[in-house]
Chains A and B, each alone.
Chain A
Amino acid sequence: MTHKLLKELMTAGLTMAVMAAVACSSSPVQEDHEFSGAVTTPIREIADFVLTDQDGESYRLSEDPNQVDLIFFGYTLCPDVCPTTLAELVRVKRALGDRADDVNFIMVTVDPERDTPEVMKQRLSVFDESFVGLTGDDAELRAVWKSFGVVAKRESVGESAAGYLMAHTAYTYLVDQDMKLRVKYRFGFNPDEVAADVIQILENS
């Protein structure tokens, strides 16, 4: 008798667990997905560009038409905002699991004077070896900043040993497979929400 009761209880429990699982997994991709960042309207195309990556090789943004790009502008001397954003992008990558293969994680420098490919490589390697660090000459970079609407200003810092710091736009941009700028995220974005947005773009483009 006790066995029967136990069995019934277990069946009920299992049914509930399965129902809960179905409820949770029912909507990974929805037509009415709400992006967690600011959606750019109208959606505009980003001009393709070529910059130099951390291995000194040229890197063309449109190189792999199947990939989505998460692009962030910063500089390696930055101790706070830029490493924090990189750490959040590591979390986005983690949340994406296998789908991360379809995403390029890119940091474009706003400080070409200090950020040589070697320096970019050093600073990025502690976060993720697969992240791309792009630098170039001042004119090349200015054109890229402009197409994203990024502002970068050099600021002297008085007696700080840092010499100078950069004030810069600290958004992270989601560019889809067709080079269209889709969403921009403020500093402090939620990595899981960005990952959900990326999956939405990957599935519905």
Chain B
Amino acid sequence: MKPKTIRELTIMRISIKTWLIGLMVILILPAAACGTDDVAAPATAAPTPITVTLPTTAPALTATSEAIPSIRVLDAWARPAGAGTSGMESMMSDHSMDDMGDATAMPGMDSMKSDDAMGGMADATAMPDMGSMKPEDSMDDMADAVTMPMDSIKPDDAMDDMADAVTMPMDPMKSDDAMGDMTDATAMTGMDTMMSDEAMGDMGSMAGMDGMGSTGAIYFRLVNDGDAADALVAVTDVYCKSTGEVVATSAEMHESSMDSEGLMSMKQVQNIPIPASGSVELEPGGLHVMLLDLQSDLIPGDIVLLTLDFEISSNQVIEAIVREP
């Protein structure tokens, strides 16, 4: 019994030693690496005087140029909201979308072999029947990422853009020109152009069935790192990221407030000022973006794309995730 324990102890001691050595190696190696960097730095930083002179001219430039706002949008999210069955739901149910997660259910997929391509399609959704599409017209509006039979795509970089891909049967599209247009596309203008006018007309009238339709709210934080004030003046183009469908026909800025009696009311605001070097929070019970006439349910996990128009800064397209209640 005892010798065994002694042997165990020796083994323990040896393993502790090994660990210690390992630990030291781990600690010392990066330190040494940093050290060499430090040594290398002065050697490569020979023209230091030049880099010093640059900052001295910079303040002079900013002093003469006008102050500008610099807006960041943080933590955008939306409440779940029920639009019922009057909107897009009837055309593309969530259930059918879930089914599409199974790659074999996607038309045109069998011709895709690369594992990378499949990985990129994790978030993919499929358009309904695209048979009626006119490829040339619709492709102009297609933004980042359309998946298609792999043998017609050569460069790997084309696949990089496919993370949030929309898949569809691409059979009618084989020309290289068409492919070029797709990868060159920049702004997400929405997939609505891919649906027939008749379909859009139907959807509009369905949404109007119960008068106003339903509403939703989006919240985020606006941070102004610049030295001039700006203001959010409009919110436009509210789309579902995965389907490209219009989520709400209009969006307004509103502010809720409660009086001393507990009476809660809401008023539309024409703009939301963002002070220089300051921030403003859109939050429940206060300022928010009100989505009107929702076209589809907002389900937790959905991502809504919307464009924020600022008084001075350029527009920003932001993503708001629908949070769990």
Closest to B298 in A: A126
How many residues of chain B get a CB closer than 8 Å to chain A's CBs? 40
Q: Report the minimum CB–CB distance from A119 to chain B (whole Å).
A: 6
B18 on interface, CB distance cutoff 8 Å: no
* A81 to B84 CA separation, bound complex (whole angstroms): 20
CB distance from B190 to the nearest CB of A (A): 20
Report chain B residues within 8 Å CB of A155: 265
Using known A-B contacts A79-B290, A161-B292, A169-B261, determine if residue A90 contacts B268 with beta carbons closer than 8 Å.
Answer: no
Q: Is A87 in contact with chain B by the CB < 8 A criterion?
A: yes
List A165-186 residues whose CB lies under 8 Å from chain B. 165, 167-171, 186
Distance (Å) between the CB of A169 and the closest chain B CB?
5
Which residues of chain A in 142-197 are interfacial with respect to chain B, using CB atoms and an 8 Å cutoff? 151, 153, 155, 157-163, 165, 167-171, 186-188
Question: Whole-angstrom distance between the alpha carbons of A151 and B261 in the complex?
Answer: 9
A121 to B80, CA, bound (A): 14
Within 8 A of B (CB), among A86-101: 86-87, 90-91
Query: Which residues of B are found within 8 Å of A161, using beta-carbon distances?
Result: 212, 250, 252, 292-293
Is A114 a contact of B285 with CB atoms below 8 Å? no
Cβ-defined contact, B212 with A77, below 8 A: yes
Which residues of B lie under 8 Å from residue A153 when comparing CB positions? 263, 265
Partner of B262, one of A78, A116, A170: A170
Distance of A70 from chain B, by nearest CB (Å):
15
Are A122 and B214 also in contact (CB < 8 A) when A79-B254, A80-B254, A187-B285 are?
A: yes
> Which chain B residue has the least Cβ–Cβ distance from A152?
B263
**Is B122 in contact with chain A by the CB < 8 A criterion?**
no
- By the criterion CB–CB under 8 Å, are B79 and A169 in contact? no
A81 and B284 contacting across the interface, CB-CB below 8 Å: yes
Interface centre among B9, B252, B284 (most CB of A within 10 A): B284
| B325 contacts A91, C-beta separation under 8 Å | yes
Are B268 and A160 in touch, CB under 8 angstroms?
yes
Task: List residues of chain A with CB within 8 A of the CB of B325.
Answer: 86-87, 90-91, 126-128
Choose one: B82, B210, B264, B267; the contact of A126 (CB below 8 Å).
Answer: B82
Bound-complex Cα distance A9 to B12 (A): 19
C-alpha spacing A157/B216, complex, angstroms:
17
Taken together as a complex, chains A and B put the C-alpha atoms of A102 and B174 apart, in Å, by: 62
Q: Hey, which chain B residues are within 8 Å of A86, CB to CB? A: 325
Does B124 sit within 8 A of A, measured CB to CB? no
The CA of A118 and the CA of B209, in the complex, are separated in Å by 12
Is A104 an interface residue, CB under 8 A from the partner? Answer: no
CB A113 to nearest CB in B, in angstroms, measures: 9
User: Given A122, A126, A160, which contacts B252 in the complex, CB threshold below 8 Å?
Assistant: A160
Asked if B297 is at the interface of the complex by the 8 Å CB criterion, the answer is yes
Cα-based distance from A168 to B216 in the complex (angstroms)? 18
Cα(A86)–Cα(B254), bound, Å: 19
Q: Residue B266 contacts which of A80, A121, A151 (CB distance < 8 angstroms)?
A: A80
CB distance from B186 to the nearest CB of A (A): 30
Which residue of A has the minimal Cβ distance to B268?
A: A160
Complex CA gap A17/B298 in Å reads 43
Decide if A168 touches B263 in the complex (CB within 8 Å): yes
User: How far is A126 from B300 in the complex, measured between Cα atoms in Å?
Assistant: 9
Kindly state the separation between the CA atoms of A174 and B260 in the bound complex, as whole angstroms.
21
User: A79 and B82: CB pair below 8 A?
Assistant: no
Partner of A81 from the list B83, B264, B292, B298 (CB cut-off 8 Å) is B264
**CA of A172 to CA of B62 in the docked complex: distance in angstroms?**
53
Within the assembled complex, what's the spacing in Å between the Cα atoms of A155 and B263?
12
- Determine which of A116, A123, A187 lies in contact with B81 in the assembled complex, contact meaning CB atoms within 8 Å: A123
B166 interfacial contact with A, CB 8 Å: no
Cβ proximity bits B210-252 to A, threshold 8 Å, 1 near / 0 not: 1110111100000000000000000000000000000000101
Query: With contacts A79-B217, A122-B83 known, is A167 near B293, CB below 8 A?
Result: no
Bound: A133/B268 CA distance, A: 27
The reply on B291 being an interface residue by CB < 8 A is yes
Q: Which 8 A-B pairs have the closest CB atoms?
A: A122-B84, A167-B265, A170-B264, A87-B325, A79-B215, A90-B325, A84-B284, A126-B82
Q: Which A residues are closer than 8 A to B by beta carbons?
A: 2, 76-81, 83-84, 86-87, 90-91, 114, 116, 118-119, 121-128, 151, 153, 155, 157-163, 165, 167-171, 186-188
Known: A168-B265, A188-B284. 5 other contacts (CB 8 A): A79-B79, A81-B264, A165-B266, A167-B266, A187-B285
* 19 pairs, A vs B, C-beta closer than 8 Å: A2-B9, A2-B12, A79-B216, A80-B217, A80-B256, A83-B79, A83-B80, A114-B212, A122-B84, A126-B82, A127-B325, A157-B268, A160-B254, A161-B293, A165-B266, A168-B263, A168-B264, A171-B262, A187-B264
